[in-house]
Amino acid sequence: MGIRIIKTSSYLPNKIVDNLYFEKILDTSDDWISSRTGIRKRHFVGDEEMFDLIRETIVKLDLSQDEACKIKTIIVATSTAFHAIPNLSSQVQEEFNLSEDTYSLDINMGCSGFVAGLKLIKGIIKEGEYALLIGVEVLSKILDFTDRSTAVLFGDGAGAVLLEHCEKDSFFKSGTKGNRDVLNYGYNSPKLYMEGREVYKFAVSTVEKSMLEFLQQIGIRKGDIDYFISHQANIRMMESMAKSLGVSMDRFPSNIDRVGNTSSASIPILLDYMNKEGKLRPGDKILMLGFGAGLTWALAYMEW
């Protein structure tokens, strides 16, 4: 028994910030940012709040009354919620008048949060039910705009998926290597702090190794995967992973050039881009790969 994504949506705030903006405020260049990360622009909120991004992406899901009635699980994955009470998923239930017979929980697992949410949904959802999973971040509010090594990397946005229970099994694996020094906000820094090189090494060593073990455990060959849908942190990481797996880059889709690193929102936004472009076909074998703050990682295998 597994889960299947039946609808996707995404919402990016209107303000587009290109690399030239950072040339004006920091000792950096469009060339450095685009060649070292793949990022050309990102979206930042103006006067929008996080819940505005959530609302817009759910509206774009265009839920029918029947779909809305069947939603019995709501999960919001985020690391940048600015208040803890009430949680965001309860506000989704209220705003969209969803069933009271609903699990509503928020999870903070950095850039791994969306994929971890899929695993939780598999455990909660029952036949005939639907689940709503949203990844959302307003990272611009916690960026240090005097730090060129982090400010240029991140963007704001939201993505959502509607899921149903299905016969075909889906599989998950997750891991944690607790380390508050290399990536934190509010621990030893009032703004987001990251030792990028350390996180990079973690992703292309630990996470990549775990991915190979995962494929072996579930008996799927890497050559059978249609798409490796990776967290969009740096195009060079994806190129490195594709190279060591021996697969071509067209199986590592990316939209990092347009959105930057949107943490928990990164994978659902990419899924929505691919879905809208008609790239995802029923039966496609997909491996999702989230990694980041914690340090944590989460992997999911499912069919489209």
Neighbours of 136 (CB within 10 A): 32
Could you confirm whether 261 is annotated as catalytic?
Answer: yes
In angstroms, the CA 18 to CA 172 distance is: 36
Phi and psi for 140 in degrees, rounded to 5?
-60, -25
> Given the complex with ligand ACO, which of 76 and 199 has the nearer CB atom?
199
**Angle, alpha carbons 87-121-53 (nearest 5°):** 45
Could you confirm whether 83 is annotated as catalytic?
Answer: no
Please report where in the chains the tokens 């979206």 appear, as a residue. Answer: 43
- Of 89, 263, 274, 304, the one binding ligand ACO by CB under 6 A: 263
Please report where in the chains the tokens 């949107």 appear, as a residue. Answer: 262
- Of 17, 96, 200, 257, the one binding ligand ACO by CB under 6 A: 200
| Site residue total, ligand ACO (CB under 6 A) | 22
Q: Please report whether residue 143 would count as binding ligand ACO according to CB under 6 A.
A: no
For β-strands 227-230 and 285-292, DSSP reports them as: parallel
- Of 88, 162, 199, 298, the one binding ligand ACO by CB under 6 A: 199
259, two tokens: 């959105």
In angstroms, the CA 230 to CA 112 distance is: 10
Upper half-sphere CA count for residue 121 (Cβ side, 13 Å):
33
- Of 111, 138, 161, 245, the one binding ligand ACO by CB under 6 A: 111
From the list 216, 207, 219, the residue with the least C-alpha distance to 299 is 207
> Given the complex with ligand ACO, which of 93 and 261 has the nearer CB atom?
261
Site string for ligand ACO, 25-54 (x = CB under 6 A): ---x---xx--xx-----------------
Q: Which of 111, 165, 234, 255 is catalytic?
A: 111
> Given the complex with ligand ACO, which of 226 and 239 has the nearer CB atom?
239
> Given the complex with ligand ACO, which of 196 and 222 has the nearer CB atom?
196
Q: How far is the CB of 249 from ligand ACO (least distance, A)?
A: 17
Could you confirm whether 69 is annotated as catalytic?
Answer: no
Q: How far is the CB of 197 from ligand ACO (least distance, A)?
A: 4
Q: Which of 19, 87, 234, 261 is catalytic?
A: 261
> Given the complex with ligand ACO, which of 9 and 264 has the nearer CB atom?
264
Upper half-sphere CA count for residue 125 (Cβ side, 13 Å):
30
Phi and psi for 67 in degrees, rounded to 5?
-65, -45
Residues 6+ apart with CB under 8 A from 285: 220, 224, 225, 226, 227, 301, 303
* Residues at the site binding ligand ACO, with contacts judged by CB under 6 A: 28, 32-33, 36-37, 110-111, 148-149, 152, 183, 196-197, 199-200, 203, 233-234, 261, 263, 292-293
Positions annotated as catalytic residues are 111, 231, 261
